[in-house]
Amino acid sequence: MSVESLARRLSAISAHLDTNTMSRPKVVIARHLGPDVMPLFNRPDLDVVTWHSETEACSRKWLLENICGAAGVLVMLGDGKVDAEFLDTAGPNLRVVSTMSVGYEHINLKELAQRNVKLGYTPDVLTDAVADVSIMLALMAGRNARETTTIWPNCPWSPFQFCGPQLSANWIHQTRTAGFIGFGRIAQATLARLIPFGFTHCLYSGNPGSAPNTARDAELARTHKLQSVRRVTLDELARGSDVVFVLAPSSPDTRHIVNEGFLKQMKKTAVLVNTARGTLVDSDALAKALREGWLWGAGIDVVEGEPNVTTEHPLVKEPRCAVLPHIGSATTETRLGMATMAAKNLIAGVLDGEMPAELNLIREVLR
């Protein structure tokens, strides 16, 4: 153990002893949450320490220096790992970690479970916003939004200039099939948005360890007047879909689930949309597939390696790939909802109330 780590450990122990003599538990908020949310912490039963900025991320050094003795910590997805160092530094008073995100790959769930620390997250709130962006990216990819804006207006008009495959059903393609890698809340909300475009079929892949939900699939087909909703293999999904939406959770099992083998089976007129996590798609394989015309285009809101992504990233360089800077949840309403839920998770977790959204750590660790 380094001298710095030892100093932090001693500080945590000291803070633990001091806190036991105090009536107010300490909470640390790693980002200012704005004027609509921060008043939730104006209460006499909490000792609140807050990073000063809404736009500038706190440093790891600041976080480790301030979490000593904390009963609760609220973090962002990009604030670094909540790992053994983080938890050891916080010390034995820590009851809850609240993350303002639906994803929790930045958090060591096993370490939290071993210490009986609760985890709050923000599911459901961003479902509609991410589904909206998924449709937007499908349209951008199919209609060459990025490629055309780089050459217009310095090009002559021609009858088929800028043309790409139409997302909606049409006189040539009277049936349309959506494919989903992962079929949770966001995927089903995306499917609902595709119905006015004339989609007629839905294919999806699921966790190999779970049984198909045939009753739900039949209900979705009836509600949306689809000809079929079917769980299929990844190979069938690649071959049969006009647009593939990547919406599975991030895990070792799903890393590069979209790889060269998958991409080679896609229709040449199909598009791929990833609004889940960058690690689910092999960036080099997708760039190669786009260059060689295995599929028509791609739209991504998440990039493997983010936030350290430069103009040299293979997908950023690829003109047939529409790239967004991870804005899937970036609506005012959604971010306000996420911040509010994260704050309420933190407060409830510290004061032994019911958290609006607590992850079942035991189930996740044993999965």
Q: Please determine, for residue 17, whether its predicted confidence score (pLDDT) is greater than 90.
A: no
Q: Please determine, for residue 3, whether its predicted confidence score (pLDDT) is greater than 80.
A: no
Q: Which residues contact 40 (CB under 8 A, 6 or more apart)?
A: 340, 343, 344, 347
Q: Are 301 and 274 in contact (CB under 8 A)?
A: yes
What's the whole-number mean pLDDT along residues 21-32?
A: 87
Q: Please determine, for residue 45, whether its predicted confidence score (pLDDT) is greater than 70.
A: yes
Give the structural domain span for 153.
127-323
Q: Tell whether 245 is covered by a domain.
A: yes
According to the model, what pLDDT value does residue 130 have? 97
Q: Tell whether 306 is covered by a domain.
A: yes
Q: Tell whether 343 is covered by a domain.
A: yes
According to the model, what pLDDT value does residue 11 have? 59
8 labelled catalytic: no
Residues 262 and 250 in one domain: yes
Q: Tell whether 283 is covered by a domain.
A: yes
- The residue with greater pLDDT, 100 or 79, is 100
Residues 112 and 214 in one domain: no
CB atoms within 10 A of CB 317: 13
Catalytic site residue from 8, 313, 326, 335: 326
Q: How would residue 209 be classed by pLDDT, with cut points 50, 70 and 90? A: confident
Q: Please determine, for residue 247, whether its predicted confidence score (pLDDT) is greater than 60.
A: yes
Q: DSSP letters of 81-114?
A: -B-HHHHHHH-TT--EEEESSS--TTB-HHHHHH
pLDDT in tens, 138-194: 999 999 999 898 888 888 888 998 899 999 999 999 999 999 999 999 999 999 999
Q: Spell 162-184 as b/e; 16+ CB within 10 A means b.
A: eebbbbeeeeeeeebbbbbbbbb
Q: Which residues contact 193 (CB under 8 A, 6 or more apart)?
A: 131, 132, 134, 135
Residues 47 and 196 in one domain: no
Q: How would residue 44 be classed by pLDDT, with cut points 50, 70 and 90? A: very high
Q: Tell whether 328 is covered by a domain.
A: no
Q: Tell whether 9 is covered by a domain.
A: yes
Residues 166 and 17 in one domain: no
Residues 268 and 315 in one domain: yes
The fraction of the chain above a pLDDT of 70, given in percent, is 93
Determine the 3-state secondary structure of 182 from DSSP.
coil
pLDDT in tens, 269-283: 999 999 999 999 999
Residues 208 and 178 in one domain: yes
User: Which strands make up the sheet holding 228-231, listed edge to edge?
Assistant: 228-231, 201-205, 177-181, 243-246, 271-274, 297-300, 321-323
306 labelled catalytic: yes
Residues 260 and 346 in one domain: no
Give the HSE-up count for residue 189: Cα atoms under 13 Å, Cβ half-sphere: 15
Q: Please determine, for residue 21, whether its predicted confidence score (pLDDT) is greater than 50.
A: no
173 labelled catalytic: no
Distances (CA, A) of 201 to 103, 142, 241: 29, 19, 9
Q: Number of folded domains in the chain?
A: 2
Q: How would residue 198 be classed by pLDDT, with cut points 50, 70 and 90? A: very high
Residues 112 and 48 in one domain: yes
- The residue with greater pLDDT, 16 or 23, is 23
- The residue with greater pLDDT, 206 or 65, is 65
Residues 340 and 201 in one domain: no
Catalytic site residue from 31, 176, 231, 277: 277
Q: Please determine, for residue 22, whether its predicted confidence score (pLDDT) is greater than 70.
A: no
According to the model, what pLDDT value does residue 19 have? 46
According to the model, what pLDDT value does residue 365 have? 78
What's the whole-number mean pLDDT along residues 63-88?
A: 94
What's the whole-number mean pLDDT along residues 2-26?
A: 60
Residues 93 and 174 in one domain: no
According to the model, what pLDDT value does residue 276 have? 95
Residues 16 and 59 in one domain: yes
Catalytic site residue from 236, 306, 358, 364: 306
Mean of all residue pLDDT scores within the chain: 92
Q: Please determine, for residue 15, whether its predicted confidence score (pLDDT) is greater than 90.
A: no
Residue written as tokens 């912490």? 41
| C-alpha dihedral sign at 153, 155, 160, 165 | negative
Domain of 118, CATH number, reads 3.40.50.720
pLDDT in tens, 95-143: 999 999 998 989 999 999 999 999 999 999 999 999 999 999 999 999 9
CB atoms within 10 A of CB 254: 18
295: DSSP letter: S
Residues 252 and 118 in one domain: no
Q: Tell whether 243 is covered by a domain.
A: yes
pLDDT in tens, 303-338: 998 888 999 999 999 999 999 999 999 999 999 999
